[in-house]
Structure 1
Amino acid sequence: MFALAGALRPGLCLPWGARQVLDIGCGTGVFALLLAGRGVDVVGVDPARASVDSPGQTGQCDLARRAWEAWTREHSYRVTQIPGTGSVESWVQLIDVSRPLVSFRWTYIFAADGQVLTSDSTLRFRERDEVETDLVARGYVVRDVRDAPDRPGREFVFLTQRPDLGVQDTQAVDES
């Protein structure tokens, strides 16, 4: 696992009182950066180094119920201008759907030198009750489940508490 951490304006907290957040499966860190921008101490963890190393404008940010149906070049093609790098073409293509696993490939073409990079990934889409059951089995009390503020209707945020630690954590999980 690789981690992306950030903290801005210490002392501010989220409405539910959390001052520290662990964003598991952070992808490119869009949710983590949103929280850090609000002054929350954030650690984002993702098993894909390429996601964590990304500058944040590409990656797994549009995951939703059956999102993979739009994972085609036609639906995902974009050109991004990256300072110091130039334009980068990118798109995602579906490789395989074997629920709960969905495999896909991101392709990036750098205009400056024509270099082509690909990144293959597989995501596991879990149901809300499955995530809640896992959290409870690991000693967490689920206090609330909300929409992710940066992806309403497409991703859950689980507000949990470990009674033995007295610390609130959040975990964003894509809906399936």
Structure 2
Amino acid sequence: MRDGEFRDPQLVPVYDAECPWGPDDDFFLSLVTASLVTGSLVTDPASAGTPPARVLDLGCGTGRLTVALAAAGHPVTGVDPPGPALAAARRRPGADRVTWVEGTSASLPPAAFDVAVLTSHVAQVFVTDDEWARTLADLARALGPGGRLAFDSRDPAARAWERWNPVDSRRVVRLPDGREVRAWTVVTAVHAGVVDFTHHYAFPGGEARRSSARLRFRGEAELRASVEAAGFAVERVYGGWARQPVGAGDGELVVVARRLSAPG
């Protein structure tokens, strides 16, 4: 199954167990809190009197960060295609504080948000240049003047996919009910910045599941050019969750940009 971690009810709990709160969530939560300070990001937004931000979490998945943003006092909209992942998000404690939307960036209302985030490498799901350009254009339309956009994408220079093999990727995922699921990943193709791979899952009792996916790895220059072409000014590109320089962090490209004006 394609993207089974979000479409297969049996794999959604595995994804949640394997992807708990981490430093990436800390980064985006702090960035959103600081995002409305004019002209820069600050380390103490409370002392600066920052008001709550109208937040869009595009590709919110099972809503781990989405509900945390709402708990911090922000009006939050989580958008994801309909399916088991979004159903799980709606069941999270605190989910009633979030506006959940079944859909894609194409259905976003204009000038409705102050901050938009795409986390957990959702930006890499848009494989073709046209898909990515349309998504960025939708986000530019959905953000008000000066609105902030932040997203993460794996740095192709780190060649993360080379570790997606049955040896290096083998892991055991413990589910909340105590069951242990054995998992590993196999890359099936690499071409022109696009990586195809399959996650394998072995459940107790011998039941097996597979989830295939395709991701685009864009370098810093390509990301900057695409974001700027959509009407944003790139403010920062970090290499990791502690705001390290590119190439000196966690193998990430964490982009923070500001909308300059309405496209067109």
| Alpha-carbon distance between aligned partners in 1 of 2:34 and 2:211, rounded to the nearest angstrom | 34
Residue 164 (structure 1) shift: 3.4
d(CA) in 2 for partners of 1:136, 1:84? 46
Give aligned-pair identity as a percent. Answer: 31
Give 1:122's aligned amino acid: R
CA contact (8 A) 1:141 1:161 kept: yes
1:48-72 C-alpha deviation (Å, 9 max, x unpaired): x7887899xxx97xx5521111111
- Written as runs of structure 1 = structure 2, the 5 A alignment for 1:47-62 is none
TM-score after normalising by structure 2: 0.44
- By how many angstroms is 1:81 displaced? 0.9
- Alpha carbons 2:60, 2:78 under 8 Å: kept: yes
Say if 2:153 is the partner of 1:133.
Answer: no
Matched, 1:80 2:177: no
Distance 1:74 1:51 in 2: 28
Q: Deviations over 1:134-164 (max 9, x none)?
A: 1111111111212341793311221111133
Q: Which has the higher strand share?
A: 1
CA distance in 2, matches of 1:51, 1:92: 21
What do the CA deviations read for 1:60-88 (whole angstroms, capped 9, x no partner)?
Answer: 7xx55211111111101111111126111
Cα deviations by residue, 1:3-45 (Å, 9 ceiling, x for unpaired): xxxxxx9xx8137169466566677778x47x74994856676
Mapping for residues 15-164 of structure 1, pairs under 5 Å: 16=41, 19=53, 32=65, 36=69, 39=72, 41=74, 65-84=158-177, 86-111=179-204, 113-149=205-241, 152-164=249-261
Letter in 2 for 1:118: R
Are residue 14 (structure 1) and residue 107 (structure 2) matched?
A: no
Runs of 4+ in 1 over 6 A off after TM superposition: 25-30, 42-47, 49-55
Relative to 1, partners in 2 of residues 1:103 and 1:24: Cα closer, same or farther, differing over 3 Å? Answer: farther
Over 3 Å counting, the alpha-carbon distance change for 1:148 and 1:133 in structure 2 is: same
Length-normalised TM-score, structure 1: 0.63
Please list every run of 5 or more consecutive structure 2 residues that lacks an aligned counterpart in the other structure: 1-5, 7-28, 36-40, 43-51, 90-119, 122-153, 244-248
Q: Deviations over 1:88-112 (max 9, x none)?
A: 111101101112111111001111x
Q: Which amino acid aligns with 1:110?
A: F
Tell me: CA distance 1:23–1:110, structure 2 relative to 1, closer, same or farther (3 Å). Answer: same
d(CA) in 2 for partners of 1:67 and 1:157? 15
Unaligned segments of structure 1, at least 5 residues:
3-8, 166-176
